[in-house]
Amino acid sequence: MVFVKTHDISELNSGTIGKEVVLGGWVEDLRKLGKMTFITLRDVSGISQIIVKGELNDNLEELNRQSVISVRGIVQETKARDFDFEIKAEEIDVLAKAIHPLPVDPIGRLESNIDTRLNHRALDMRNQKTASIFKLRHHVLEILRKTLAEKKFIEITTPKIIGSASEGGANLFSLDYFGKTAYLAQSPQLYKEQMTIGLERVYEISNFYRAENSHTGRHLSEFTSIDIEAAFMDYNDVMNILESLVMGVYKFVSVNCKKEQENIGHTIEIPKSPFERITYTQVIEELKKVGEKVEFGDDLLDSHLRIIGKNHPGFYFLTDWPMKLKPFYIREKDEDSKLSRSFDLQYGYLELSSGGTRLHNPETLKSRLKEQGLDPAQFADHLQTFDWGMPPHSGWGMGLDRLMTTLIGIDNVREVVLYPRDPDRLSP
């Protein structure tokens, strides 16, 4: 390959008029008019029109749409409505031919269902709507990490292969690890707590695993989680951090990703802040008022959350859950030990994040493990760290995929994950 791309299409401007450029991209459209061919060329950055005259057309015989070409030519002004500039071709190389017909229409004129698109995910990425989702995701990750670093969080990488079934052990994938049984981590919970002992504030953005036989638009077997844990913070502090991160994401992409919003056909509205903070007890009262049979201590069912979600559209925190509904590591409230220092971040009925203040006293932690029917001996590696000067700490985990669905205004996480994994889908 001698060809070297000199410009992305979006880099063409009035300064490049009259200059020779080399572009590379995909033939999105191709129309012959007499001895001329008009090609719409797309690369990752945009589209341009290529004018092909004379012998160069020989190259284009039987060239299917979506084939890959490189074009050397001169930039000129255009009268065509859809383009800012056009290229008068001087040389065209066909780098890869596409078959015809393609299994899904990458222009998106013919809609394919999600399963067909996922089976042909690479081609689906030529659809500008899909590509824009993943460009947005890139920017969301960028702004999340930038903000966390500014707030003095240190990025860590915890192991995904773990030796014991932490956090209760339900729904874990297991594997053979050199003759031992190992598991895929569901979350970095115990490790991130341990790290506050030295690094104070840590975060991780990584994939985790849940062997749950769910068939919904919001559960996957492999999902991306954003996790933070912070020493010397209470659950209100980490709720504030979570709210400012979510607001930061919305503000950034709303302002900086106009083209992606256009392609997706969805305008990202900046949510109202501060987010409402409703206690679990208030929610129970709300549900009783509309005739739901629910008592303090009951977990909230999907049907309950749909009612609450209608009353409180958009983002809100659901706080102060009963201790008995929370994992062993969550700390009780001083004023009422039946209540916990915990919260979920909700978007309507959808749970985005769960967090709280953690227990940091090893004796209380052991009691709570036993209360929940867990064996402290199974947690020996974790518990020992609480004897080494474990600071008070709080944190949360948030599903990145779910956050992305709120941003994009769709309700299937499969749309925002490149190659989703669920009980029925293990390929491509």
Among 72, 129, 145, 366, binds its own copies (CB under 8 A): 145
Question: Does 219 count as an annotated binding residue?
Answer: yes
Contact 31, 18 (CB under 8 A): no
Q: What angle do CA 257, 260, 265 make, to 5 degrees?
A: 125
Tell me if 170 contacts its own copies by CB under 8 A: no
According to DSSP, the residues that pair with 393 across neighbouring strands are 231
Per CB under 8 A, 222 contacts its own copies: yes
Contact 385, 189 (CB under 8 A): no
User: Minimum distance between the CB of residue 232 and its own copies, rounded to whole angstroms?
Assistant: 4
Q: Residue 200 annotated as binding?
A: no
Residues 120-139 that bind its own copies (CB under 8 A): 120-127, 130-131, 134-135, 137-138
The distance of closest approach from Cβ of residue 148 to its own copies in the complex, given in angstroms and rounded to an integer, is 10
Pick between residue 184 and residue 283 the one whose CB is nearest to its own copies.
184
CA distance 179 to 193: 29
Neighbours of 385 (CB within 10 A): 17
Which residues have CB under 8 Å from 16's CB, separation 6+? 7, 75, 85
> In the sheet where 276-279 sits, what is the strand order?
154-155, 201-209, 222-231, 393-399, 350-357, 342-347, 315-319, 276-279
Bridge partners of residue 279, in order along the sequence: 319
CA distances from 380 to 190, 271, 361 (A): 12, 43, 14
The window from 46-54, 313-321, 353-361, 404-412 that contacts its own copies (CB under 8 A) reads 353-361
Q: Assess 159 for contact with its own copies (CB under 8 A).
A: yes
Site string for its own copies, 173-202 (x = CB under 8 A): xxxxxx-x-x-x------x--xx-xxxxx-
Residue with Cβ nearer its own copies (142 or 292): 142
Residue 400 annotated as part of some ligand binding site: yes
Q: How many residues bind its own copies (CB under 8 A)?
A: 102
* 143 near its own copies, judged by CB under 8 A: no
Give the list of residues 6+ apart from residue 408 with CB closer than 8 angstroms, or none.
133, 136, 264, 266, 415, 416
Q: Note whether 270 binds its own copies by CB under 8 A.
A: no
**Contacting residue, 88, 160, 219, 266, with its own copies by CB under 8 A:** 160
Q: Are 158 and 187 in contact (CB under 8 A)?
A: no
Segment interacting with its own copies, rule: CB under 8 A, options 82-90, 107-115, 205-213, 245-253: 205-213
Q: How many CA atoms, within 13 angstroms, populate the side-chain half-sphere of residue 381?
A: 8
Nearer Cβ to its own copies, position 36 or 175?
Answer: 175
Instruction: State both tokens at 83.
Output: 């383009």
Q: Is 117 within any annotated ligand binding site?
A: no
By CB under 8 A, tell whether 262 contacts its own copies.
no
> Using only C-alpha atoms, what is the Rg of the chain?
27
- The reply to whether 151 sits near its own copies by the rule CB under 8 A is no
Only one of the segments 107-115, 246-254, 405-413, 419-427 lies at the binding site for its own copies (rule: CB under 8 A); that segment is 419-427
Convert residues 231-250 into a mask of x (bound to its own copies by CB under 8 A) and - (unbound).
xx-x----------------
Which parts of 51-110 interact with its own copies (CB under 8 A)?
66-68, 70, 95-99, 102-103, 106
Minimum distance of its own copies from residue 35's CB (angstroms): 26
Contact letters for its own copies, residues 371-410 (x by CB under 8 A): ----------xx-xxxxxxxxx------------------
Three-state SS for 346? strand
What's the one-letter identity of residue 162? I
| Structure tokens that stand for 46 in this block | 């945009």
Q: Which of 7, 21, 26, 354 binds its own copies (CB under 8 A)?
A: 26
Q: Is residue 349 a contact partner of residue 315, using CB atoms and an 8 Å limit?
A: no
